[in-house]
A = this chain, B = another copy of it.
Amino acid sequence: MTSEVLSIGNEVLSGRTLDTNFHFLARLLEEAGARVIAHQAVPDEAGAIDAALKLAFTRSDLVVTTGGLGPTPDDLTVSAIAKSLGLATHRDEAVIAALKARWALIGRGGEMPVNNEQQALVPDGATTWVNPAGSAPGILIEKGGKHVVMLPGVPEEMRALAKQSLAPWVRAASGLTVEYALVRTVGIAESVLEERLSDLSTLVGGAWVAYLPGLGGVDVRVTLPTDADADIRAGLAARVRAIVTERAGDYVYATDERALERVVLDLLGVKGYRLVVAESCTGGLLAGRITDVPGASATFDGGVICYSNSSKVALCNVTELTLLEHGAVSEEVACELAVGVARRFGAPCGIGITGIAGPDGGSPEKPVGTVHVAAFAPGGMYHRALRLFGNRAQIRERSVTAALELLRRRLLGLPATSPGALFTPPATP
């Protein structure tokens, strides 16, 4: 089954919004067994939508659209696609009832504006899918053996609908079960991983290897041949995980979907330790990532955002002398933060982060990107001096990843760094 995505909306085309919807859908469709062969993006204009759909149907069995399902007049995806396919439309009573129920539920008060009923416009003969994260339903249309699926453009709503309804439908329609092995790494470069795994496709015949770099590390995602039966595929997946883990060594933090923060929380849970954090340059991002994990409160107590020097002293027990002698961005302050915040909360584990995220505040000795992370746990303290590159947001995210990775290594008794790790200390101290 071939597929393509049609993004509809002016905001994407103006460059004002980065369209991450296609990227998400491409992965979801591939995993469900529909090869993605093209992407188009057009404005909220019936003519442009019609031309794009006609081109799409010359090559694709399934066209997934995103956007243009809102309640305003420029949202015309449904009417344009119905017209292009020669279908009439109707206002779906069940959808209107659901919209009104949602309006009352979220307590906006009063009657739902009649405008909003536009979201109940559905082509005749279409199937609607309930939106678990918003009002506009997903819409599935069959036409001459080909299919169009319309999803909202708001990423949360699109993702929720795609996972809940599109993926199962594609899996059923494609008749394929794509099997993957996922191995997640942190601290090793994509090119090094690629070199170490260059023979993987030969070792496991038919395996297709993808390297997915992100701010949190590099994922190795191996797609396995789909014509083998389930037992054989499961065996191949186990073999792939074993090979990748052997080659990538202790850079591997998970052989499943768990994020690094989740892995760290799970390790803490097993040991019965509680964690707190003290963040300067990351300003809450580390705690934010930890508390993204549902149930984090079982092992995470909180922490201090000590942006000012006085708060480092008053709330995290950093001494004035240390600040004076070494400066706020130093190994000493990072370590005092980790211990100090742990004592303050009465927790056995603490993380301290201090650094210069930029764009200002750098100096020749401590340029932008200089970050110290410290992880304190029963058994002792680990520290790393980082020299990170990128913009403010990248430096902050990478600092968070490095701190989590350092605590993972501390909890597992691994060395604080591995040879050739990505977060290397500066050449000159």
Interface residues of chain A, those whose CB is within 8 Å of chain B, are 7, 10-20, 22-30, 36-43, 48, 51-52, 55, 58-59, 70-74, 105-110, 113, 115-116, 133, 154, 156, 160, 189-192, 194-195, 210-213, 221, 276-277, 279, 281-288, 290-292, 294-297, 300-308, 310-311, 314-315, 344-346, 358-360, 387, 389-394, 396, 420, 422, 424-427
> What's the dominant secondary structure at chain A's contact region?
mixed
The reply to whether B40 and A38 contact each other, CB–CB distance below 8 Å, is yes
| Nearest B-chain residue to A28, judged by Cβ | B15
The reply to whether B42 and A41 contact each other, CB–CB distance below 8 Å, is no
The reply to whether A39 and B156 contact each other, CB–CB distance below 8 Å, is no
Cα distance A323–B428 when bound, in Å?
51
Cα distance A199–B113 when bound, in Å?
17
The reply to whether B51 and A55 contact each other, CB–CB distance below 8 Å, is yes
From B23, B37, B113, B420, contact of A192 by CB (8 A): B113
From B213, B294, B307, B390, contact of A302 by CB (8 A): B307
Nearest CB of B to A45, in Å: 8
Nearest CB of B to A296, in Å: 7
Known: A113-B191, A281-B291, A305-B305. 6 other contacts (CB 8 A): A15-B25, A70-B190, A156-B394, A292-B393, A303-B305, A311-B345
A39 with B37: in contact, given A16-B221, A51-B59, A71-B191 (CB under 8 Å)?
A: no
Which residues on B sit within 8 Å (CB–CB) of A295?
360
Nearest CB of B to A271, in Å: 18
Which residues on B sit within 8 Å (CB–CB) of A58?
51
The reply to whether B279 and A284 contact each other, CB–CB distance below 8 Å, is yes
Which residues on B sit within 8 Å (CB–CB) of A106?
387, 389
From B72, B276, B283, B358, contact of A291 by CB (8 A): B283
The reply to whether A424 and B72 contact each other, CB–CB distance below 8 Å, is no
Copies in the complex: 2
List of 6 A-B pairs having minimum Cβ-Cβ separation, nearest first: A283-B291, A15-B26, A284-B287, A284-B284, A15-B27, A39-B41
Which residues on B sit within 8 Å (CB–CB) of A345?
308, 310-311, 314-315
Which residues on B sit within 8 Å (CB–CB) of A18?
20, 23
Which residues on B sit within 8 Å (CB–CB) of A19?
22-23
| Nearest B-chain residue to A428, judged by Cβ | B107
Cα distance A395–B229 when bound, in Å?
42
| Nearest B-chain residue to A307, judged by Cβ | B302
Which residues on B sit within 8 Å (CB–CB) of A282?
288, 291
Nearest CB of B to A159, in Å: 10
Which residues on B sit within 8 Å (CB–CB) of A301?
307-308, 310-311
Please indicate which of the listed interface residues A12, A26, A113 has the most CB atoms of chain B within 10 Å of its own CB: A26
Nearest CB of B to A397, in Å: 9
A359 with B290: in contact, given A19-B23, A304-B305 (CB under 8 Å)?
A: no
The reply to whether B302 and A302 contact each other, CB–CB distance below 8 Å, is no
From B37, B191, B290, B393, contact of A48 by CB (8 A): B37
| Nearest B-chain residue to A301, judged by Cβ | B308
Nearest CB of B to A406, in Å: 17
Cα distance A19–B186 when bound, in Å?
22
Nearest CB of B to A12, in Å: 8
The reply to whether A109 and B304 contact each other, CB–CB distance below 8 Å, is no
Which residues on B sit within 8 Å (CB–CB) of A71?
190-191, 194
